[in-house]
Amino acid sequence: MDDSLGRLADRIAVSGGRRLAAVIFGVVLATGQSPLSWYPLALIALFAALAIFSRLKKSVQAAWFGWLLAVGYFAASLFWLIDPFLVEPWRHGWMAPFALVLMAGGLGLFWALAFGLAHLLGTTPSKRLLALILLFSLAEFARANVLSGFPWGLQGYIWVETPVRQLAALVGPHGLGVLTLLLAALPLIPRRRWLGGILAASLMLAMWGGGVLRLQLVKPEPAMGTSLRLIQPNAPQRQKWDPAYAPGFFKRALALTAEPAERPIDMVIWPEAAITWWLDDEPELQARIAAAAPPGARVVLGARRYQAGRFFNSAVLLDETGMSAVIYDKLHLVPFGEYIPFGSLLSLIGIHGLAAEEGGGFSAGKTPMLMDFGQAGKALPLICYEAIFPAMARYGNPRPDWILQITNDAWFGELAGPQQHFIQARMRATEQGLPLVRVANTGISALIGATGKVIEQLPLGVAGRLDVTLPGRLPATVYGRTGDLPLLVLMLAGILLTVLRRWHKKSD
């Protein structure tokens, strides 16, 4: 780092301004996430934050700095979290500010722990940065898995609009996060700053070039020729369940389903919770759905179902009569959305899940599964929130032919929430080398290729249908076979080595 920049970092680190700087850099770091995807600006913010961190004098200061950086980052990138609470403001509106504040502050604890421990283990600025790369990556992995997990806004997602995204097929989203952190830290690590700049530039070229090379080398398997019709009814959440509007949305979806097709359609797909009645409780209405489909086409839709006193959020394949033939029940439910811990008790004081029934809300399904669509192949179903978890997209033995995500993003407004959800679906396709079909109530519905490229899409906030031909899958990826285990072992081994060296130095 240039001496003038070093002096500036020192000045900020020892002043009260470091707290404000942490929040500001956190906000700027959030611009790397969709819909802006300004990865250069995010890298600059990350570089500046690391420069200040490396000059802090105490571990407690480092922990506070990491927490404030996270608060700025999560408050700016997750501001859409207030939208679900405003769907029924008379019921949930009072919780909106608390939800955002508690989420940003709670997630920030993972970063605070990483920054504090890294400073404690590192005896020099360079060693602190190296320790932070290990501990921050482990903290992000913990954030993605602890207490049901919330891997939203991972640092690797800043590359989704670039060829660098292809590296997720090798190292996954957490591995991309490690590379991102290393890229920002390299100019600060060597004593000869020009060397750090050269190393950072070389890493950037390697990441970009590696992505371009993969796009040129990978060859998809022959496509099965499956033709799908994706239905996007665009029912606003405030009106979706209203008896005055629901019949109109149903008729709209039926009309879109029945529109003439330029080529034979094998399957019609409706989004999550596409029908307002309990599954199979209205056989005449479901028969109308099956009858509206083009000749020979089957229908897949999202529905709520009730069984033995329990509620499920399900993806369903209808038979020729419109009754359920194959059912997948959502496994990973949204906490405080589809269920609330101790929900029956908390409902007595007016706290309910946003999309849940009274009390405990929805129940989770028992096991992941592949849905066998015959000539359309075997698809891995993911319902809404499930697509943000990389591990869920790895299920399948034998390997699925494609991934199907049905969702209702009407909860998230039309700003950052749906776009961030969409890019995570693109990352799942890239990681697994599988085409992904996404059908959303209000958008974004899309066909995503096995490299994560968007082939066709319906934008947010429009009603329509999209007729697409399913492309072939790519060979199984390294990440698809191994998951995060190799990276996790490397991170833990690196931390153990750092601790042992620190202990050995103290014992001397």
Same domain, 134 and 239: no
Nearest CA-CA partner of 354 in 276, 417, 277, 410: 410
Supply 363's token pair.
Answer: 């129940």
In a domain, 169, yes or no: no
CA distance 450 to 430: 6
Same domain, 324 and 343: no
Domain boundary among 120, 138, 162: 162
Same domain, 285 and 411: yes
Catalytic (active site) residue 330: yes
| Residue pair 98/81 in contact by the 8 Å Cβ criterion | no
Same domain, 17 and 58: yes
CB burial readout 328-367, b (16+ within 10 A) else e? bbbbbbbbbbbbbeebeebbeeeebbbbbbebbbbbebee
Domain count within the chain: 3
Nearest CA-CA partner of 488 in 169, 208, 134, 190: 134
Transcribe 25-64 into DSSP letters: HHHHHGGGSTTT--HHHHHHHHHHHHHHHHH-S-HHHHHH
Same domain, 289 and 420: yes
- Tokens 């809404």 locate to 384
Same domain, 416 and 445: yes
- Which segments of 222-316 does DSSP mark as H helices, in order? 237-240, 246-258, 283-292
In a domain, 35, yes or no: yes
CA distance 140 to 149: 10
Supply 282's token pair.
Answer: 């209205």
Nearest CA-CA partner of 277 in 250, 252, 237, 253: 250
Q: Residue 195 CB: number of other CB atoms within 10 A?
A: 13
CA distance 182 to 179: 5
**Domain boundaries, position 355:** 336-366
190, pLDDT greater than 80: no
Q: Where on the phi/psi map is residue 126: left (φ > 0), alpha (ψ -120 to 50), or beta?
A: alpha
Same domain, 40 and 108: yes
281: Cβ–Cβ under 8 A, 6 or more apart, which residues? none
Catalytic (active site) residue 384: yes
Burial of 506 (0-12, 13-18, 19+ CB in 10 A): exposed
Compute the C-alpha angle 372/377/379, nearest 5°.
65
CA distance 92 to 435: 37
**Three-class SS state of 393:** helix
CA distance 390 to 488: 14
In a domain, 479, yes or no: no
38-42, 238-242, 268-272, 467-471: range with lowest mean pLDDT: 238-242
> CA quadruple 447, 453, 458, 461: dihedral positive or negative?
positive
Which pLDDT belongs to residue 403?
A: 98
Which pLDDT belongs to residue 154?
A: 98
In a domain, 74, yes or no: yes
Catalytic residue from among 338, 384, 386, 431: 384
Domain boundary among 119, 135, 162: 162
pLDDT tens column, 72-111: 999 999 999 887 776 677 666 776 777 889 999 999 999 9
In a domain, 481, yes or no: no
Catalytic residue from among 127, 140, 330, 386: 330
**Three-class SS state of 261:** coil
| Sheet strands side by side (includes 310-318) | 324-329, 310-318, 298-307, 267-269, 227-232, 464-469
> Is the pTM value of this prediction over 0.85?
yes
186: Cβ–Cβ under 8 A, 6 or more apart, which residues? 196, 197, 199, 200, 203
39, pLDDT greater than 60: yes
Supply 276's token pair.
Answer: 């307002």
pLDDT tens column, 451-504: 999 999 999 999 999 999 999 999 999 999 999 999 999 999 999 998 888 777
127-136, 184-193, 198-207, 426-435: range with lowest mean pLDDT: 184-193
Same domain, 348 and 297: no
| Residue pair 331/386 in contact by the 8 Å Cβ criterion | yes
349, pLDDT greater than 50: no
Transcribe 354-414 into DSSP letters: TTS-STTBPPPPS----EE-GGG-EEEEEEGGGGG-GGGGG--SSPPSEEEEEE-GGGGTT
386-415 average pLDDT score: 93
Domain boundary among 162, 181, 216: 162
Which CATH number covers residue 391? 3.60.110.10
* DSSP 8-state secondary structure symbol assigned to residue 123: S
Same domain, 253 and 354: no
Supply 391's token pair.
Answer: 């591990």
In a domain, 245, yes or no: yes
What confidence tier does 422 reach under pLDDT thresholds 50, 70, 90? very high
| Residue pair 188/196 in contact by the 8 Å Cβ criterion | yes
In a domain, 40, yes or no: yes
Same domain, 144 and 241: no
Nearest CA-CA partner of 387 in 372, 406, 400, 370: 406
Q: Rounded to 5, what percent of the chain is helix, strand, coil? A: 55, 15, 30
CA distance 249 to 216: 43
What Cα–Cα distance (Å) separates residue 347 from each residue in 359, 366, 406?
Answer: 5, 25, 29
Nearest CA-CA partner of 267 in 364, 396, 401, 387: 401
* Beta-ladder partners of 465: 231
Catalytic residue from among 127, 140, 240, 272: 272
Same domain, 131 and 239: no
Average pLDDT, the chain: 91
CA distance from start to end of the chain: 31
237, pLDDT greater than 70: yes
CA distance 178 to 169: 15
246-252 average pLDDT score: 97
In a domain, 437, yes or no: yes
Same domain, 291 and 311: yes
CA distance 466 to 438: 11
Catalytic (active site) residue 272: yes
Indicate the residue type of 171: V
| Residue pair 274/233 in contact by the 8 Å Cβ criterion | yes
pLDDT tens column, 455-466: 999 999 999 999
